[in-house]
Structure 1
Amino acid sequence: MNTKILIVEDQFIEADNLRGILRGAGYIVCKIARSVPEALQIIEEEKPSLVLVDIYLKGPLTGIDLAKTLRERHIAFVYLSANSNKQTLDAAKATRPYGFLVKPFREKDVLVMLDVAWYLHRQDHGLSEPSKDISKNTKAADFREIIGESDCMKEVMKNVHIVGGSDISVLILGESGTGKELIARSIHQLSERKQKPFVAVNCAALPANLIESELFGHEKGSFTGASEKRIGKFEQGNQGTVFLDEIGELPLDLQAKLLRVLQEKEIEPIGGKTKKIDVRIVAATNRNLEEEVAAGKFRLDLYYRINIFPILLPPLRERKDDIVALAKHFVNIYALKEKKEIDGIADHVIQSMLNYNWPGNIRELENAMARAVLLTNGPIVNSLTLSGSNKKTETAGNGRIKSLVDNERDHILYALEQCGWKIYGEDGAAALLELHPSTLNSRIKKLGIEKKYAKNNSL
């Protein structure tokens, strides 16, 4: 391996440990730099291909200052970090690194991160196709359920292929209803864990008093009501993948225990002994986790751990080219379920779909097509009911643009009507809106929503 790496780290023990990992993997390691001036001198002398740079260094200059120079010289770099505040994180991200490595370093994480970083850097400069290490197993996956040929979805699938064959943590970002779990399953299918369990957990739907038991399990008699032993989600997913949807909803104390799973590869069931566990974590959220970090609601060290390779899913309004294909896909599915022969969708219905803003994204489109199929008596879908709550041209009936509060009220009302005013459960409005039931109840109360309101106000 001819790749030459420079380590810029002022803590000798950590730098020496990292040097040992790199040399053991066959990398050429430059002299270790403890400050930005030392790093710049070594760069001139030894011409490294990639730099691992700590944010806080000896002297007045930081790793972020060095990163700006590296970017100008087209040298790939990855940040080394133990922890920092949101302001520092924002400044670091602005330099567009190829990743973050979190202390303490684990050999497998380091080597996979380097593979990903080096590949992304070469792709940025048009230097290579995917390496065998990054793209392995990609031909084995079946992506028939992922519908979309738009440029933004092609970019998503490129990233899925890049990270699928590795074992690093992935964070899927996107609005509710964009298909984050489907992407998570695709990542699992591309991995060497594909024959092992895929366990999906909706963190927002777990009752606050049962989250720890659901995730980590408990022993019989460990607390009041624990009449039998429970195997937690992480143990169920051992050797496979655990998908943590809406990870931003996890309480802080559970975030600390999740960090332990990521760092130490072990869990501790309630009332039980510590157990070693081998799972890959794929997380997802519709929240801005950096804002949650700034507000003290999400641990920055956990954010670093799960944000090694983020994948951003675009909202449906940004992938108009995929709407018709998705709609036809759902029509075929629900026509089969309803035992109806439906050949297509009328042009005016297609135009309505293309003009609509789809605030509920793919989930809303699927629900709309399910209703349309149910109401269709002929071979063509001729009508489509849309909430209209987020159309760009939506007005309040008197020519003025609706306020955000009015739009939110309409959107919640629409979801409640679709669920028969049921809030809880898998078929309730909270699940449809991807909100915790208590959060939805709070919004309903604040917006003054009542059944009589729905009768007097058309959606």
Structure 2
Amino acid sequence: MSIRILIVEDQFIEANNLKHNLLGAGYEVCSIGRSVPIALTIIEKEKPDLVLLDIFLQGPLTGIDLARTLEKKNIPFVYLSANSNKDVLDAAKSTRPYGFLVKPFRKSDVLVMLDVAWYLHQEKLVSKAAEKAAEKPAPSPQTDEAIGGIIGGGAAHQELLKSIRIVAPSNTSVLIVGENGTGKERVAQAIHQSSPRAKEPFVIVNCGALPANLIESELFGHEKGAFTGALQKRIGKFEQADGGTIFLDEIGELPPDAQVKFLRVLQEREIESIGGRVKKVNVRIIAATNRDLEQEVAVSRFRVDLYYRLNVFPLRLLPLRERKDDIEPLARHFLKIHARQAGKTINSFSKGAIQTLLQYSWPGNVRELQNIVERTVLLTDGPEIDQISLSVESRRPADNVTADARRIKTMEENERDHIIAVLEKCNWKISGKGGAAELLDINANTLTSRMKKLGIEKSISVRRNDE
């Protein structure tokens, strides 16, 4: 099928150049619209499949005004703009475009963005069909346990379960975004377990823990003799996941050269090992990050085409402090697990203990909650937990702090403070039994990498940002 493109651009030379490039690439091109009324007339007559849309046009109406109509008509569109004003860009972003092309742009940029936009639109249509199917009454309604054991009680939790039900049956790529400890891996597992691939491999890759010189070998494998030290053939993670799902945690940590190779896997569904072996793979890709990838794209640390390929079905996991309805059910869930593991009969929390949990700000999110419940179980002798084992600093209620402490910290500041606090508890032991990596439930190499990035050293004067 030949895709029909409408160009809405009031600069004749730019519009004509775009038209020439698109025709040369095999697209059909509608008449050119230089204002919103003209564009609307063309849309009714020529039925474009996709629109390239400048923001500022002839007349009082802007491309943003037209975008709202395109959204209602379910016509995908990509903005063309030379404007960098934040308010304008925020207004444009609110219309949910399929991408931005910032002037001046190259022909290759246009073609890549169109390819990505069309791909995203097709995936959106698939997702909508799946959502419609998910709304039909099921013979036996799914419970929390039927969706990967994800526990919660609030509206955000229910919305998350709905999203998992919608996306799980498809092969759509999923990007899970959230702070450390919000349960990104658990959600990825739930999607896999609820999918037709459930009986196939679920392979986890922590991109932040991969040594730079081994990333390609780890992901794509290598042939015997491909380089010095390659004494035998190695099967990469993508090939291990063939038929199943690969979960790429901390995807924002991938270096640029690895991003290029990963983009090819997404586009071609094939891998090339070091040494030249090419193999088709049937892999569902779920990626996760605690970074703002749009910001990473803006500063050229993450490829825009890779971002849009991954961001087909985004899932944003709220921090625990923003979904307090989930705290009590999660705490009770962890209590059952750790009381059983400790061989203790502890059945409940007192009202005061629950209040303590609700007042805390949870910089470490669900992972921190689980660690605190586990520690509290070990310190409790009776059948009820009436006191939560928090540090002195942690006991300060989140909603009853000084004006200085009320300053909202960045994610990196919160992460840095949390890591330092855990390191202090472990006497700066990083790996092994009782080490900080174990308490934080992350790989020791990942922790060392994060410490280096955040400037955390044992000799540092440990001073909090809120002191």
On whether the aligned pair clears a TM of 0.5, the verdict is: yes
Q: CA deviation at 1:433?
A: 8.0
1:255 aligns with 2:259: yes
Identity of aligned residues (%): 46
Relative distance call for 1:357 and 1:278 in structure 2 (3 A) is same
What's the Cα RMSD here?
4.1
Corresponding residue to 1:276 among 262, 266, 280: 280
- Give the whole-Å Cα distance in 1 for the aligned partners of 2:238 and 2:262: 10
| Residue matched to 1:208 | 212
- Contact kept in structure 2, 1:7 and 1:33, CA below 8 Å: no
Show the counterpart of 1:293: 297
Query: CA 1:91–1:277 in 2, change beyond 3 Å: closer, same or farther?
Result: farther
Q: Is the 8 A contact 1:421 1:429 kept in 2?
A: yes
Question: 1:350-383 CA distances to partner (integer Å, 9 max, x unpaired)?
Answer: 1100000000000000000010111111111232
Q: Give the 3-state SS of the residue equivalent to 1:159 in structure 2.
A: helix
Q: Is the 8 A contact 1:82 1:102 kept in 2?
A: no
Deviations 1:32-58 (A, max 9, x none): 455465641133447x6x96323579x
Task: Tell me which residue corresponds to 1:26.
Answer: none
Inter-partner Cα distance in structure 2 for 1:150 and 1:436? 32
In the alignment, the residues of structure 2 paired with residue 135 and residue 175 of structure 1 have an alpha-carbon distance, to the nearest angstrom, of 33
Matching residue of 1:440: 451
- Report the equivalent of 1:193: 197
Please name the residue that 1:369 is paired with. 373
Query: Which deviates the most, 355-364 or 237-246?
Result: 237-246
Superposition deviation, residue 442 in structure 1: 5.1
Q: Relative to 1, partners in 2 of residues 1:113 and 1:365: Cα closer, same or farther, differing over 3 Å?
A: same
Distance in 1 between the 2:448 and 2:65 partners? 45
Within-5 A mapping of 1:153-168: 153-168=157-172
1:79 counterpart (77, 80, 88): 77
Q: How does 1:24-103 map to 2 (within 5 A)?
A: 32=30, 34-35=32-33, 39-45=39-45, 52-55=50-53, 65-66=62-63, 68-72=65-69, 74-79=72-77, 92-97=92-97, 102-103=113-114
8 Å CA contact 1:430, 1:440 repeated in 2? no
Tell me the secondary structure at the aligned position of residue 213 of structure 2. coil
How many positions carry a matched residue from both structures?
419
Mapping 1:11-410, distance limit 5 Å: 11-12=22-23, 16=27, 32=30, 34-35=32-33, 39-45=39-45, 52-55=50-53, 65-66=62-63, 68-72=65-69, 74-79=72-77, 92-97=92-97, 102-104=113-115, 111-116=122-127, 130-132=131-133, 142-143=146-147, 145-387=149-391, 388=393, 392=398, 401=405, 410=417
Matching residue within 412, 418, 442 for 1:411: 418
Partner amino acid for 1:414? Answer: A
Letter in 2 for 1:231: I
Using the size of structure 1 for normalisation, the TM-score is 0.77
- Alpha-carbon distance change, 81 to 426 in structure 1, aligned in 2, over 3 angstroms: farther
Distance between the aligned counterparts of 2:266 and 2:54, measured in 1? 24
Query: 1: CA distance between counterparts of 2:197 and 2:57?
Result: 46
Q: Where do 5+ consecutive residues of structure 1 fail to align?
A: 18-30, 120-128
TM-score, L = length of structure 2: 0.76
* 1:132 to partner: Cα distance: 2.8
